């Protein structure tokens, strides 16, 4: 298959806002792709490389100005092979070797293909084919149920691998995908609930009832154990085992041989109250776009405590497809066996409305964010699909993408201050601007923004200007009083009294809240 066919599909996807049209365009390409080219084509159409980062920076790519080829002739397998060679280059002279490989590749590409490849390598391919769209496309191309594709993806953690399995082995192959110890599972996420009463009402039809648990201001973790081998991943499936030895020791002490646990971790002060989010994140380093938020300073006082709320596997038995009630019973038995075991997330099973209100009050009094209301009959499912888990906070918060920034004035002169906020387009396009704010910023955060945000400027931006547009890479958590209709922004909605709570280095732009989520706050 020619690279030009992938590029044409990418352009077609970017030219429409219809999710159905995007999925069908990708599916049509995948149906034509040879078996060994399904994985790279799938990765590229979701804006990723099979190789991950290949060790080439923006400056190097900007300097690779070569005349384009007159006709399209590059094949997908050829491009993927070159990118693998670039990624594997190491040692003395590796930088020059990578540059030479890319220069030769671009020399054989047309002008349109050059733009595609450069954007792909530097992680800026904004074509609107987000993860959900590509998963739908894989199901269409392979003529298999979308649910089977999503479950296989949850267990494999790799969209290209899932596509290869679906196109090669069909539904039987997808259903054979199993939970594998030491291969992280994509996490199940909670949808925002507008209020505790509405969340309880929405799940009132569950035959098993609900559980209401504390929502911590911590970092999501998934921990696998196989004998004495224990490994830890973040919500983005980045392994952090070496940096969290106390979590490893907690799980190694459990009375089991194999286990997969899901939960959160945070640092507590001497009174048992949560320390600042930045303190917890300082133990994880950069998780997400480079430099995504002031990291804080790890010290001896920043000891992490685990709070587990789910159990996906125990001693040879997979629990993913079991109701949450069954998983919680197994978790309670595991954690109760040792008084020094990791902490179970606090909450009440089978909670009534009054009990749920008390759990929320207890969580807030303890310094936590709120609660999560969960359907006890629900199996474990990756992503934020459906309403089986709903998080409720007393103050509206949104995770938004920073799409631009303005120079400060007055006391903020000399800083990059007023940030432009974008909500994720549910159809897979560019983030849609819904507001601006400089409120809530400390002097430390302003200094960090001034140093960091220009490094995320889009190509061609004048860094001496008043406003710069940014690549959609950084996620910031915003508190707000609600939303209002507005013709000022393209989404027809604007934030009310938005203020910065913190940057979210543990999230990327694909996990930001959608424009539909903002609109849901309209009165």
Catalytic residue, candidates 215, 374, 436, 507: 215
Of 478, 341, 398, 424, the residue nearest 192 (C-alpha): 398
Residue 36's alpha-carbon distances to 113, 128, 323, in angstroms, are 21, 24, 38
- 419, 437 Cβ separation under 8 angstroms: yes
Backbone angles phi, psi at 10, to 5 degrees: -60, -45
| Residue 215 is a catalytic residue | yes
CA–CA distances in Å: residue 183 to residues 311, 389, 511: 15, 24, 21
Question: H helices of 176-239, where?
Answer: 196-202
| Helix axes of 76-88 and 38-45: crossing angle, nearest 10 degrees | 80
Question: Which stretches within 89-181 are classed as H helix?
Answer: 94-107, 111-121, 131-142, 146-156, 159-175
CA distances from 271 to 267, 275, 336, 367, 368 (A): 11, 10, 23, 11, 14
**DSSP labels, 399-434:** EEEEEEEEE--GGGTTSEEEEEEEEBPTTSSSPEEE
Which residues in 488-513 are b (16+ Cβ under 10 Å) and which e?
ebebebbbeebebbbbbbbbbbbbbb
Angstrom distance (rounded) from CA 413 to CA 158 = 45
- 3-state SS class at 25: helix
Return d(Cα 136, Cα 168) in angstroms, integer.
Answer: 16
Q: Identify the helix (H) or strand (E) that includes residue 210.
A: strand 210-215
Is 312 within 8 Å of 261 (Cβ atoms)?
A: yes
Q: How many helices (H) and strands (E) does the chain have?
A: 17, 19
Q: Hey, how many other C-beta atoms are within 10 angstroms of the C-beta on 139?
A: 23
C-alpha–C-alpha distance, residues 433 and 318, integer Å: 43
* SS3 (DSSP) at 58: helix
CA 212, distance to chain mean position in Å, is 24
Q: Do the bridges between strand 370-375 and strand 467-469 make them parallel or antiparallel, or are there none, so unpaired?
A: unpaired
The pair of three-digit structure tokens given for residue 377, joined into one six-digit string: 């009959």
Q: Residue 183 corresponds to which tokens in the numbers above?
A: 């291969």
DSSP state of 75: B
Active site residues: 215
């Amino acid at each position: 298959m020619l690279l030009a066919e992938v590029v044409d599909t990418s352009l077609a996807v970017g030219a429409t806002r219809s999710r159905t049209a995007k999925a069908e365009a990708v599916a049509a390409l995948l149906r034509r792709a040879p078996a060994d080219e399904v994985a790279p084509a799938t990765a590229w159409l979701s804006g990723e490389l099979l190789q991950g980062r290949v060790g080439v920076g923006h400056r190097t790519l900007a300097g690779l100005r070569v005349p384009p080829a007159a006709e399209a002739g590059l094949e997908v397998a050829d491009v993927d092979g070159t990118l693998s060679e670039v990624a594997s280059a190491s040692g003395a002279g590796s930088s020059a070797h990578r540059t030479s490989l890319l220069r030769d590749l671009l020399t054989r590409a047309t002008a349109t293909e050059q733009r595609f490849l450069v954007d792909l390598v530097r992680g800026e391919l904004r074509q609107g084919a987000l993860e959900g769209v590509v998963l739908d496309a894989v199901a269409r191309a392979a003529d298999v149920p979308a649910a089977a594709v999503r479950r296989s993806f949850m267990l494999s953690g790799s969209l290209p691998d899932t596509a290869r399995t679906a196109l090669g082995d069909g539904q039987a192959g997808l259903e054979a995908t199993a939970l594998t110890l030491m291969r992280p599972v994509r996490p199940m996420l909670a949808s925002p609930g507008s209020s505790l009463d509405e969340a309880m009402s929405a799940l009132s039809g569950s035959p098993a009832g609900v559980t209401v648990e504390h929502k911590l201001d911590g970092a999501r973790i998934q921990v696998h154990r196989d004998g004495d081998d224990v490994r830890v991943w973040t919500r983005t499936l980045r392994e952090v085992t070496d940096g969290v030895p106390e979590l490893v020791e907690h799980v190694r002490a459990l009375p089991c041989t194999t286990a997969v646990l899901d939960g959160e971790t945070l640092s507590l002060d001497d009174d048992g109250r949560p320390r600042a989010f930045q303190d917890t994140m300082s133990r994880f380093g950069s998780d997400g776009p480079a430099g995504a938020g002031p990291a804080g300073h790890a010290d001896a006082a920043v000891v992490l405590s685990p709070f587990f709320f789910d159990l996906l596997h125990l001693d040879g038995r997979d629990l993913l497809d079991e109701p949450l009630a069954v998983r919680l019973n197994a978790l309670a038995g595991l954690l109760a066996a040792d008084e020094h075991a990791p902490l179970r997330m606090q909450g009440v099973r089978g909670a009534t409305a009054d009990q749920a209100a008390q759990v929320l009050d207890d969580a807030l009094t303890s310094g936590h964010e709120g609660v999560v209301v969960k359907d006890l009959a629900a199996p474990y499912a990756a992503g934020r699909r459906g309403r089986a888990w709903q998080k409720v906070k007393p103050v509206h918060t949104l995770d938004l993408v920073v799409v631009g920034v303005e120079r400060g004035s007055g006391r903020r002169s000399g800083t990059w201050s007023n940030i432009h906020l974008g909500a994720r387009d549910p159809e897979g396009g560019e983030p849609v601007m819904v507001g601006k704010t400089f409120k809530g910023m400390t002097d430390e955060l302003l200094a960090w923004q001034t140093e960091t945000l220009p490094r995320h400027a889009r190509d061609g931006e004048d860094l001496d200007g008043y406003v710069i547009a940014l690549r959609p890479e950084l996620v910031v958590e915003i508190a707000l009083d609600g939303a209002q209709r507005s013709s000022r922004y393209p989404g027809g909605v604007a934030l009310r009294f938005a203020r910065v709570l913190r940057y979210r280095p543990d999230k990327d732009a694909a996990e930001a809240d959608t424009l539909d989520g903002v609109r849901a706050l309209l009165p």
